[in-house]
């Protein structure tokens, strides 16, 4: 048996063991499969990784915290939600990863997100480990006072597990500036410390970084642009389909426009909007960020150029590039086939694992440039790390400086993934490049620090 065949056999055995030890966690198992199936070449080239049991340690979180979150609504009724924090790997630095408040949140979802975060954070080169957290609380339709009471209860337990040198949460789906503010206020109240670096995504006037709200969307567009440049093209004049209408989608649309592309869609759980003139960013921000409304309201106000498709699939709309920016597994094999039929050139993941494995394989086989989320959407956590640096120095940077750093980081991530894929015999395969490059950085640190 060759060294590579032996490595593949070892990984297959490990995947079977992971499935046995983590039942009813499909998202985590999907993420683990996606990474491990690409690692055989690097384990064959670096046998010391296998000898030290690095992969076995990598797939097991260093710490998993689950807790109840009791809170009262405006009518005095008591509710009990479940809170999570999975501190997955700290070999490169303090755990770093967002908090998600959404009814779909369970341990498997948080573990999948935390596992992805290990590699994403490693790719930034900014010295941050991987973690994730959240709750099955749904902030949609809740008053500010109810959200505040929930956040205060959530932080009353979480505070004992986090800190600027230990674990630094940020926002994710359902956790924006409002929620970060309430969480930070409760942390400060309990600890009696102004520890700005304990949370990122804060308001610009009290320790936050400029460009942080925009960073994930901006970074994804920059990664897509780098993939196109590798093929001798650019974004100028390209038509784009974008899913979602939250923070990531909005700033993806904004950056596309800045680079000369035209985004014609947005969506939410009710359906999608296609706007022949291109999405009116000001109107979308008003509906989603100010009024917290639905995308059908956008279509009603926009006029004849826009139509709302209830329950439809945004991937039906012909486009040159696609940027899934909503949630996991939103783009399946049938969607990928529709994109390919309509001539898509590149797909870049703004959300975490939005494309199913079958969709990814079909896109790659068809020659579509595919940017995996752990590389393409790393801009958000990159600017979070820059926010940590500003907090540590008790200073703030200009928007221009932050955006310059973000652009450099995203271009470096693209180069790293592209060159790593070529080095391991998979030219143009950004999935393999991202997985191996992130793994090597974490594995080298784990190897140096011993069996812990």
Fold of 63-194: Rossmann fold (3.40.50)
Segment 432-443 mean pLDDT:
98
CB 225 within 8 A of CB 378: no
Model confidence pLDDT, tens digit, residues 110-131: 999 999 999 999 999 999 999 9
The 8-class DSSP code of residue 288 comes to I
Segment 13-26 mean pLDDT:
96
Predicted confidence at residue 7, as pLDDT, reads: 83
Which candidate, 412, 418, 422, 446, places its Cα nearest to that of 434?
418
Q: 316-319: long-range contacts at Cβ-Cβ below 8 A with a sequence spacing of 24 or more?
A: 317/241, 317/264, 317/265, 317/272, 317/274, 317/342, 318/239, 318/342, 318/343, 319/238, 319/239, 319/240, 319/241, 319/264, 319/265, 319/344
Residues recognised as catalytic: 132
Model confidence pLDDT, tens digit, residues 408-425: 999 999 999 999 999 999
Helices 399-423 and 430-449 sit at what angle, rounded to 10 degrees?
Answer: 100
Tell me, yes or no, if the two domains 63-194 and 215-371 fold the same way: yes
Surface-to-core class of residue 73, CB atoms within 10 Å of its CB (0-12 exposed, 13-18 middle, 19+ buried): middle
CB 368 within 8 A of CB 197: no
Q: What angle do CA 311, 112, 87 make, to 5 degrees?
A: 135
Model confidence pLDDT, tens digit, residues 282-335: 999 999 989 989 999 999 999 999 999 999 899 999 999 999 999 999 999 999
Tokens 């998979």, residue? 426
Predicted confidence at residue 2, as pLDDT, reads: 67
Whether residue 249 is predicted with pLDDT greater than 60 in this model: the reply is yes
H or E element in which residue 3 lies: helix 3-21
CB 350 within 8 A of CB 373: yes
H or E element in which residue 130 lies: strand 129-135
DSSP line for 49-102:
HHHTTHHHHHTS-SEEEEEEEEEE-TTS-EEEEEEEEEEEE-SSSSEEEEEEE-
Query: What is the bridge-based pairing of β-strands 321-323 and 63-72?
Result: unpaired
Tokens (6 digits) for 278: 């291109």
Segment 76-95 mean pLDDT:
98
Segment 136-157 mean pLDDT:
97
Torsion angle (degrees, nearest 10) of CA 375, 349, 335, 40: 10
H or E element in which residue 421 lies: helix 399-423
* Helix, strand, or coil (residue 378): coil
- pLDDT, averaged across the chain: 96
Model confidence pLDDT, tens digit, residues 167-189: 999 999 999 999 999 999 999 99
Tokens (6 digits) for 153: 């209860």
Whether residue 86 is predicted with pLDDT greater than 70 in this model: the reply is yes
* Helix, strand, or coil (residue 417): helix
CB 69 within 8 A of CB 157: yes
CB 246 within 8 A of CB 179: no
Ranges of beta strands (E only) in 151-270 are 167-171, 239-242, 262-263, 265-268
Predicted confidence at residue 1, as pLDDT, reads: 53
Segment 149-165 mean pLDDT:
98
Which candidate, 224, 225, 160, 223, places its Cα nearest to that of 187?
160
Which candidate, 207, 141, 139, places its Cα nearest to that of 168?
207
Fold of 215-371: Rossmann fold (3.40.50)
Distance CA 141, CA 322 (A): 30
Predicted confidence at residue 386, as pLDDT, reads: 98
Whether residue 79 is predicted with pLDDT greater than 70 in this model: the reply is yes
| Exposure letters 259-285 (e unless 16+ CB within 10 A, then b) | eebbbbbbbbeebbbbbeebbbbebbb
Distance CA 159, CA 81 (A): 17
Tokens 């807790």, residue? 67
Which CA distances in Å does 425 have to 9, 42, 239, 421, 428? 20, 11, 32, 6, 10
Domain extents for the chain? 63-194, 215-371
Helix/strand/coil percent split, the chain, to 5: 50, 15, 30
CB 43 within 8 A of CB 32: no
CB 181 within 8 A of CB 155: no
pTM of the model as a whole? 0.95
Distance CA 326, CA 349 (A): 9
The 8-class DSSP code of residue 328 comes to T
Whether residue 101 is predicted with pLDDT greater than 80 in this model: the reply is yes
Model confidence pLDDT, tens digit, residues 194-229: 999 999 999 999 999 999 999 999 999 999 999 999
φ/ψ of 100, rounded to 5, equals -115, 125
Predicted confidence at residue 5, as pLDDT, reads: 75
């Amino acid at each position: 048996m060759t060294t590579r065949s032996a490595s593949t056999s070892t990984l297959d055995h490990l995947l079977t063991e992971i499935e046995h030890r983590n039942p009813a966690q499909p998202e985590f198992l999907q993420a683990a499969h996606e990474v491990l199936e690409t690692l055989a070449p690097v384990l064959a080239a670096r046998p010391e990784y296998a000898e030290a049991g690095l992969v076995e340690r990598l797939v097991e979180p260093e710490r998993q915290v689950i807790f109840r979150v009791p809170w009262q609504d405006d009518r005095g009724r008591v509710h009990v939600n479940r809170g999570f924090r999975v501190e997955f790997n700290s070999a490169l630095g303090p755990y770093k990863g967002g908090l998600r408040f959404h009814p779909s949140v369970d341990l498997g979802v948080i573990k999948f997100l935390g596992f992805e975060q290990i590699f994403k954070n490693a790719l930034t080169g900014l010295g941050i480990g991987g973690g994730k957290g959240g709750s099955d609380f749904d902030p949609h339709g809740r008053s500010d006072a109810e959200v505040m009471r929930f956040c205060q209860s959530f932080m009353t337990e979480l505070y004992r597990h986090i800190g600027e040198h230990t674990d630094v949460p940020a926002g994710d789906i359902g956790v924006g500036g409002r929620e970060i503010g309430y969480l930070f206020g409760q942390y400060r109240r309990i600890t009696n410390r102004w520890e700005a670096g304990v949370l990122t995504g804060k308001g610009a006037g009290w320790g936050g970084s400029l460009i942080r709200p925009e960073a994930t969307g901006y970074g994804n567009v920059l990664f897509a642009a780098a993939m196109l440049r590798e093929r001798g093209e650019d974004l100028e004049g390209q038509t784009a389909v974008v899913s979602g209408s939250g923070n990531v989608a909005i700033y993806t649309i904004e950056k596309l426009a800045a680079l000369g592309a035209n985004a014609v869609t947005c969506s939410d759980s009710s359906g999608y909007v296609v706007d022949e003139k291109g999405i009116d960013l000001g109107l979308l921000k008003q509906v989603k960020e100010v009024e917290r409304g639905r995308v059908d309201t956008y279509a009603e106000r926009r006029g004849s150029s826009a139509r709302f498709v209830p329950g439809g699939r945004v991937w039906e709309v012909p486009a040159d590039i696609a940027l899934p920016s909503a949630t996991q597994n939103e783009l399946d094999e049938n969607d990928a086939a529709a994109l390919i039929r309509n001539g898509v050139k590149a797909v870049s993941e703004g959300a975490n694992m939005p494309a199913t494995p079958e969709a990814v394989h079909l896109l790659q086989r068809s020659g579509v440039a595919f940017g995996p989320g752990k590389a393409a959407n790393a801009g958000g956590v990159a600017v979070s790390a820059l926010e940590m640096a500003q907090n540590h120095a008790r200073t703030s940077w200009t928007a221009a400086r932050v955006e310059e750093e973000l652009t450099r980081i995203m271009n470096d991530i693209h180069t790293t993934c592209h060159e790593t894929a070529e080095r391991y015999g998979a030219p143009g395969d950004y999935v393999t490049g991202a997985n191996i490059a992130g793994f090597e950085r974490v594995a080298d640190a784990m190897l140096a620090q011993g069996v812990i």
